[in-house]
Structure 1
Amino acid sequence: MIGRKFVAGRKGMVGLVAFACAMTMGLSGCSLTTPTRAEVEPEPVKATLGADDLIEDGVLTVAMDMTDAPQAMTDQEGKPSGYYADIARLLAERMGLDLRVVSSADATGSLSKGKADLYIGARTGEDDVVESGVLVQNASSIFAKSADGSREVPTVSATALQGAVVAVQSDSAAQDAMDSAGIDTTLKTKSNVNECFEALADGEVDYVACDSTAGAYLARAYPGTVFVGTIAPMVSYDAIAASGTDLADQAMGILEDALSDGTLEAIFRLWYGDLPFSLDDLALDGVTFEQEAPESEETPASEGESGDPAQSDSLNSLG
């Protein structure tokens, strides 16, 4: 296996460029207008990958599990949406290619059977592929609401959870994690993670236990609701491509550049808010667990439906 590992956690949000108006004799002020996003067309990129490199000439075909919300889902117009979809758009745009997204839960099979050029959202450790390095980590986690409604993370430990009421999706990995943690809490089960966060906002419960990515995605809509720590092992996900190909080299180089220039973190923040990029060493104090993580089974109610491969001519813009 050939692997390329990114250095995660680099602080590099896209910078804001400040413009100053020079004050000259007789000039009392100045005005500044900027073009709208629709008026700014990205410079065209000449594609260097051809029919020998791609399933379809001129098109980057990317597979992802479209039922894995909020990483990948379908929006109200039936188009691919989510963190992985935005990464796919970034890759296609910087390669100068159109984009086609197909839904599949079989990472290596999508590549070996010729269904996709790349797969985004593979668990690390796949064989005979080039790995991008970690794009996102996920783990059953605790979310809390700060007392003053700020984004400041409150101090929460296993001791603090004793006697607390915790909302959790029924029959989820987070419920299993809470049971395994052996903490004396009252679990209030809900049908989906959205209902868990509504219960936290209404003061019905003290905490929410859910996947870190699903929780961070939903927490953006609830002021003062923040991630405080993991209660189960994390799983890392990356992008993979068949090893020894020009496509793999170009894709991994683009992702490395996107991490360095802040684009990848900007996309991450768009979907996950204040969630730490790396969940290493963020286990809740006093909680111990085995190191092998289960597959996630949690379902935000806003999740899109899976179905036939989706294709859209408008997927080439990150706007």
Structure 2
Amino acid sequence: MAFSITRRLVVAGAMLTAAVGLTAAGAHAQTVEEIKGKGKLTVGMLVDFPPFGITSADGKPDGYDADVAKLMAKHMGVPVDIVPVTGPNRIPYLLTGKVDVLVASLGITPERAKQVQFSDPYAAIEIGLLAPQGTAITKAEDLSGKSAGVARASTQDQSLTAAAPKDATIRRFDDDASAVQALLSGQVDALGVSNVVAQQIKQMAPQNNYEMKFVLRSQVQGIALRQNQDKLLAWTNGFLETVKKNGELNAIHQKWLGTDLPTAVTSGKS
């Protein structure tokens, strides 16, 4: 009897281990084949970072990142399951297998690369100078004798201050909203701003024909995977190369940011 009970416990333990192993394999899919095996691509995404991540009127994740995630799943041949994440929990969600990948506006940095593997860039936050189309500015030197607004102590303040000629006037405002209002009301000739805010300004005042005159700084974003997912990383980079070449990724960028893909995305490597 003791032998029988022991044997049953061993068998039950083996079955439990196998079941846990199967569950873990489903959660921690390492390859495209494993993702297809579980029947869907699970993607972590921010939903509070417009226009990259938003919640639609019907309560579903939407935005640039959502469209990229959907396109990725389409090319993989499976449905997509988008899981909302936050800035602090997005990497933990990936590392614990709650999601297969992150398409979550994650900037590629050396610090983060110690935790995750990054794909080639699929998007970028750009800091540049916005002005009406007719304003004769193509480079920082052209700000000579002109004025530009920035949010005080922001990245755009630091970047523009370093690049502008000495006889340019840089007007610093307490926040982005005040700086934007200064541009709209003609208090400044140009505005140091991110491409995200630039798109919002263009939508607010389309009659002014605002355009980015030049880029001061770029922060590229990558699709994040767990370490040692080499096969999935190779597939992801192949996918990005394809959709950059065939125009599908550019169409998403035009839809959400109103411009073509930045050079840092089309030519960049992580």
Normalised to the residue count of structure 2, the TM-score between the two structures is 0.68
Deviation at 1:178, TM superposition (A): 3.1
Call closer, same or farther: CA 1:259–1:96 in 2, change over 3 Å: same
Call closer, same or farther: CA 1:275–1:229 in 2, change over 3 Å: farther
Q: How does 1:1-319 map to 2 (within 5 A)?
A: 53-54=34-35, 57-94=38-75, 95-105=77-87, 108-120=91-103, 121-124=105-108, 125=110, 126-127=113-114, 129-147=116-134, 154-181=136-163, 183=165, 184-189=168-173, 191-193=175-177, 196-216=179-199, 218-221=201-204, 222-223=206-207, 224-231=209-216, 233-242=217-226, 243-244=228-229, 247-275=232-260, 277-279=262-264
Deviation at 1:130, TM superposition (A): 4.6
Is the 8 Å Cα contact of residues 58 and 97 (structure 1) preserved in structure 2? yes
Q: Which has the larger radius of gyration?
A: 2
Is the 8 Å Cα contact of residues 61 and 82 (structure 2) preserved in structure 1? no
Is the 8 Å Cα contact of residues 166 and 185 (structure 1) preserved in structure 2? yes
Partner-residue secondary structure (3-state), 2:239: helix
Q: Distance in 2 between matches of 1:269 and 1:154?
A: 25
Q: Distance in 2 between matches of 1:166 and 1:190?
A: 14
Call closer, same or farther: CA 1:246–1:102 in 2, change over 3 Å: farther
Q: Distance in 1 between matches of 2:83 and 2:201?
A: 24
Partner-residue secondary structure (3-state), 1:122: coil
Partner-residue secondary structure (3-state), 1:115: coil
Partner-residue secondary structure (3-state), 1:68: coil
Is the 8 Å Cα contact of residues 53 and 66 (structure 2) preserved in structure 1? yes
Q: Distance in 2 between matches of 1:136 and 1:256?
A: 13
Call closer, same or farther: CA 1:205–1:270 in 2, change over 3 Å: same
Deviation at 1:50, TM superposition (A): 6.5
Q: Distance in 2 between matches of 1:114 and 1:279?
A: 30
Is the 8 Å Cα contact of residues 141 and 211 (structure 1) preserved in structure 2? yes
Name the count of aligned residue pairs: 225
Normalised to the residue count of structure 1, the TM-score between the two structures is 0.59
Call closer, same or farther: CA 1:156–1:253 in 2, change over 3 Å: closer
Q: Distance in 2 between matches of 1:263 and 1:112?
A: 29
- Opposite residue 82 of structure 1, the aligned amino acid is G
Unpaired runs of 5+ residues, structure 2, are: 1-24, 266-270
- Opposite residue 110 of structure 1, the aligned amino acid is Y
- Opposite residue 263 of structure 1, the aligned amino acid is E
Is the 8 Å Cα contact of residues 167 and 190 (structure 1) preserved in structure 2? no
- Give 1 or 2: higher helix fraction: 2
RMSD: 3.3
Partner-residue secondary structure (3-state), 1:267: helix
Call closer, same or farther: CA 1:85–1:78 in 2, change over 3 Å: same
Higher-RCO chain (CA-CA 8 Å, sequence separation at least 6) = 1
How big is each residue's C-alpha offset from its partner over 1:159-193, in whole Å with a ceiling of 9 and x where there is no partner? Answer: 43244332323442212333444644141526335
Call closer, same or farther: CA 1:98–1:279 in 2, change over 3 Å: closer
Partner-residue secondary structure (3-state), 2:102: strand
Deviation at 1:83, TM superposition (A): 1.3
Q: Distance in 2 between matches of 1:111 and 1:239?
A: 11
Q: Distance in 1 between matches of 2:95 and 2:248?
A: 30
